[in-house]
């Protein structure tokens, strides 16, 4: 008698990923195809889609010379380049402190989780309260103790608004870096430390010669993940400044959102999307390959 | 001397960072008890812990808002998305863990949906939802959230499946058990804690989402909490106290969830890359 493997058993591994492939196929790939198609047209959206013409590369050429898009690229770059290094340093510092023998370690760790878990829209609102020039906590304290003689509307003036956003980002995301580094620290082997103590090494030497080298892979993973996530910033800027005053806090996500859903230029917004998507896919795949190597998934 | 000095630095550093990271949340808490007038009179502590703001926001007739409906919408959309993404993602994770199905290509394809800024999907998803009639429905929103949560579920569950010895599968095969039985009766029960943690984390991410809720939900009753909170602008400008109260309502359940799954948080944040 010939035993025939049932269909399900034979194709078991493929059947299991089929729903995922279909689901993401519809979302990711239909989305991608649609957005590329739209980017070649002058389509606009006023409740319904009206007729449209193919304009081919015109949207892309416009994007390359668009001062708003350039400003949002620049602002996003400034935000990432200032906020992420500070988050890394602060995160490392706090992780090192929490890795010491202190009372209530678990409690402190839980406390630091909170900013990260806070709904980004609420994060934005919290900081609008904090920054408010009439009653906000920051201005109140700084004027009371005499550091400022009059309150600063941090988010209300172009010179300071972007730095206001950067501080919010640091508040929200340092715990992310800290958590990753702390788990990296806790996974380090203890043998090298015992040897170093026997040899009479100082704390600084131990940190530079033992902790830092062994921690490097974790630091790189944290850095790369943060770089990738930092460019996604949207909610906080939407609720605090909506890109203003002027274009001082305009960032990539907001530019696409406004172009598509406020100015209703779906075609042009799609072209911006394709450019951003293209860059993100290349960069994130490089980043993923590095992370993959480092964590030996 | 050296030791004492380090202890002092440790203490100051820890105190300063707790102050920086915790004060804003405490400030939100304190503000939620203040009336619009009191905010200007008492910059720090409220004069008493008056629950007026909480009563107002839950009463549509007084506030003109639907925070209770928003809360229900948030619950439906976030738990709904997990109900879709968890089964689909878990079986895929098992397949990828055991058979390396799809190889590196599938790996990168799935992760890219997590890496790309959500706004790049905004135009196509808006159009797809509009022309499929799913716009302004909570199941529509749950379907969108599930797509974003799939990547998280797959890579987190894969890392949990990787920890279950392959011998179990092999022994089951030799004993003549079907593959279906092996997965659902022998392997899956060993990753129940992981399944639970993954579900909670997915709920958190869906709960906090704002952009798609804003784009897809038009009627105030269907909007989720973040969208409801974003609209706290009244006749007298921003209703700070009410906004703070609504903000706390939104974040408290998330804090509880986060504390429950603390142990697996790093794994979730790094998509299974770093374990604790």
Collect all residues of chain B within an 8 Å Cβ-Cβ radius of residue A31: 121, 124-125, 128
Instruction: Please check whether residues B82 and B122 belong to one and the same domain.
Output: yes
Sequential DSSP letters for chain B: -HHHHHHHHHHHHHHHHHHHHHHHHHHHHHHTT--TTHHHH-SSS-SS---HHHHHHT-HHHHS--HHHHHHHHHHHHHHHHHHHHHHHHHHHHHHHHH-TTHHHHHHHHHHHHHS-GGGGHHHHHHHHHHTT-TT-HHHHHHHHHHHHHHHHHHHHHHHHHHS-THHHHHHHHTT--HHHIIIIIIGGGGHHHHHHHHHHHHHHHHH--HHHHHH--STTT--HHHHHHT-EETTEE-HHHHHHHHHHHHHHHHHHHHHTHHHHHHHHTTTSS--
- Which residues, at least 6 apart from B132, have a Cβ–Cβ distance to it below 8 Å? B140
Identity of the residue in B92, B113, B266 whose CB atom sits nearest the CB atom of A180 = B266
Q: How many domains does chain B have?
A: 2
B274, part of any domain: no
Of A137, A175, A270, the CB nearest to B43: A137
Does residue A244 belong to any structural domain of this protein? Answer: yes
Instruction: Chunk chain A into consecutive blocks of 10 residues (it has 297) and report each block's average pLDDT, rounded to whole numbers.
Output: 68 87 85 89 78 82 90 93 95 90 84 92 92 87 85 89 95 94 88 84 83 88 88 92 89 92 89 90 81 70
Indicate if B51 and B76 belong to the same structural domain: no
Q: Is B115 on the interface with A (CB under 8 A)?
A: yes
pLDDT of residue A1: 46
Residue B275 lies in a domain: no
Position B47 in a domain: yes
CB contact under 8 A, B13 and A281: no
| Pairwise CA distance, residues B22 & B19, whole Å | 5
A63 domain-assigned = yes
CATH of the domain at A263: 1.10.3720.10
What was the pLDDT predicted at B276? 63
Per-residue pLDDT of chain B (276 residues; tens, 9 = 90+): 577 887 888 889 889 999 999 999 999 999 999 888 888 887 788 887 888 888 888 887 887 788 898 999 999 999 999 999 999 999 999 999 888 887 777 777 777 777 788 888 899 999 899 889 999 999 999 999 999 899 899 988 998 998 888 888 888 888 888 888 888 888 899 999 899 999 999 999 999 999 999 999 988 888 999 999 888 776 666 788 888 999 999 999 999 999 988 888 888 887 766 766
Residues B152 and B215 in one domain: yes
Residue B129 lies in a domain: yes
Do the chains contact at A256 and B269, CB–CB below 8 Å?
Answer: no
State the complex-level ipTM. Answer: 0.90
- B76 plus B161 within the same structural domain: yes
pLDDT, residue A2, reads 52
Tell me the whole-structure pTM to 2 decimals: 0.91
Q: Are residues B133 and B169 in the same domain?
A: yes
Number of domains in chain A: 1
Among A30, A128, A253, beta carbon nearest to B124:
A30
Q: Cβ contact (<8 Å) for B240 and A129?
A: yes
Are B99 and B207 part of one and the same domain? yes
Residue B98, domain member (yes or no): yes
> Is residue A15 one of the residues assigned to a domain?
no
Q: Are residues B25 and B135 in the same domain?
A: no
Statement to judge: residues B181 and B244 lie in one domain: yes
Q: Does B108 touch chain A (CB under 8 A)?
A: yes
User: Is A120 within the bounds of a domain?
Assistant: yes
Residue A36 lies in a domain: no
The boundaries of the domain holding residue A146 are 57-295
Residue A9 falls inside a structural domain:
no
User: For B204, which of A14, A117, A125 is closest by C-beta distance?
Assistant: A117
With CB atoms and an 8 Å threshold, state whether B92 touches A19.
Answer: yes
Q: Does a structural domain hold residue A265?
A: yes
Residues B15 and B129 in one domain: no
- Per the structure, the complete domain to which residue B43 belongs is given by 2-57
Nearest CA in chain A to B163: A297
Query: What pLDDT is stored for residue A67 in this prediction?
Result: 92
Q: In the prediction, which pLDDT does A243 show? A: 87
Residue A199 is predicted with a pLDDT of: 84
Whether B183 and B260 map to the same domain: the answer is: yes
Whether A171 is covered by a domain: the verdict is yes
> Do residues B203 and B108 share a domain?
yes
């Amino acid at each position: 008698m010939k035993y025939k493997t049932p269909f399900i058993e034979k194709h078991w591994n493929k059947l299991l990923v089929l729903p995922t492939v279909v689901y993401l196929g519809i979302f990711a790939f239909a989305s991608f195809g649609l957005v590329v198609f739209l980017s070649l047209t002058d389509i606009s959206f006023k409740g319904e889609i009206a007729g449209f013409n193919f304009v081919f590369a015109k949207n892309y050429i416009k994007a390359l010379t668009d001062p708003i898009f350039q400003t949002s690229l620049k602002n996003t770059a400034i935000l990432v380049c200032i906020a992420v290094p500070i988050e890394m340093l602060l995160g490392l510092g706090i992780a090192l402190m929490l890795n010491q023998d202190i009372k209530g370690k678990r409690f402190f760790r839980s406390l630091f989780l909170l900013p990260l878990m806070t709904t980004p829209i609420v994060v934005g609102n919290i900081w609008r309260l904090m920054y408010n020039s009439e009653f906000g906590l920051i201005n109140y304290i700084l004027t009371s103790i005499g550091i400022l003689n009059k309150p600063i509307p941090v988010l209300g003036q172009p010179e300071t608004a972007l730095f206001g956003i950067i501080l919010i980002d640091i508040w929200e995301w340092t715990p992310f870096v800290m958590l990753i580094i702390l788990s990296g620290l806790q996974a380090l082997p203890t043998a090298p430390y015992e040897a170093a103590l026997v040899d009479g090494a100082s704390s600084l030497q131990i940190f530079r010669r033992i902790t830092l080298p062994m921690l490097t892979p974790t630091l790189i993973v944290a850095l790369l993940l943060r770089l990738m996530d930092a460019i996604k910033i949207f909610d906080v800027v939407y609720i605090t400044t909506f890109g203003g005053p002027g274009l001082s806090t305009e960032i990539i996500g907001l530019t696409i959102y406004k172009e598509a859903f406020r100015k209703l230029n779906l075609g042009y917004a799609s072209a911006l999307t394709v450019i951003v998507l293209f860059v993100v896919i290349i960069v994130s795949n490089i980043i993923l390959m590095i992370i993959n190597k480092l964590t030996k998934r | 001397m050296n030791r004492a000095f380090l202890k002092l630095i440790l203490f100051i550093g820890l105190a300063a960072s707790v102050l920086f990271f915790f004060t804003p949340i405490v400030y939100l808490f304190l503000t939620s008890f203040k009336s619009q007038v009191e905010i200007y009179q008492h910059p720090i502590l409220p004069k008493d812990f008056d629950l007026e703001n909480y009563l107002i926001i839950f009463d549509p007739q007084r506030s003109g808002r639907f925070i209770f409906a928003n809360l229900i919408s948030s619950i439906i959309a976030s738990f709904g998305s997990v109900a879709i993404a968890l089964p689909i993602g878990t079986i895929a994770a098992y397949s990828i863990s055991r058979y390396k199905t799809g190889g590196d290509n599938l790996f990168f394809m799935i992760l890219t949906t997590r890496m790309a800024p959500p706004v790049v999907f905004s135009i196509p998803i808006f159009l797809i939802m509009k022309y499929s009639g799913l716009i302004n429905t909570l199941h529509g929103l749950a379907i969108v959230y599930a797509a974003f949560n799939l990547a998280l579920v797959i890579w987190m569950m894969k890392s949990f499946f990787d920890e279950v010895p392959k011998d179990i599968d092999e022994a089951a095969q030799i004993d003549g058990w079907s593959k279906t039985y092996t997965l659902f009766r022998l392997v899956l029960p060993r990753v129940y804690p992981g399944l639970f943690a993954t579900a909670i984390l997915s709920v958190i991410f869906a709960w906090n989402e704002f952009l798609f809720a804003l784009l897809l939900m038009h009627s105030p009753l269907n909007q989720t909490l973040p969208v409801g909170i974003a609209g706290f602008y009244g006749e007298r400008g921003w209703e700070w106290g009410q906004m703070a109260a609504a903000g706390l309502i939104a974040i408290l359940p998330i804090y509880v969830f986060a504390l429950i799954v603390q142990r697996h948080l790093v794994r979730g944040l790094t998509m299974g890359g770093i374990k604790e």
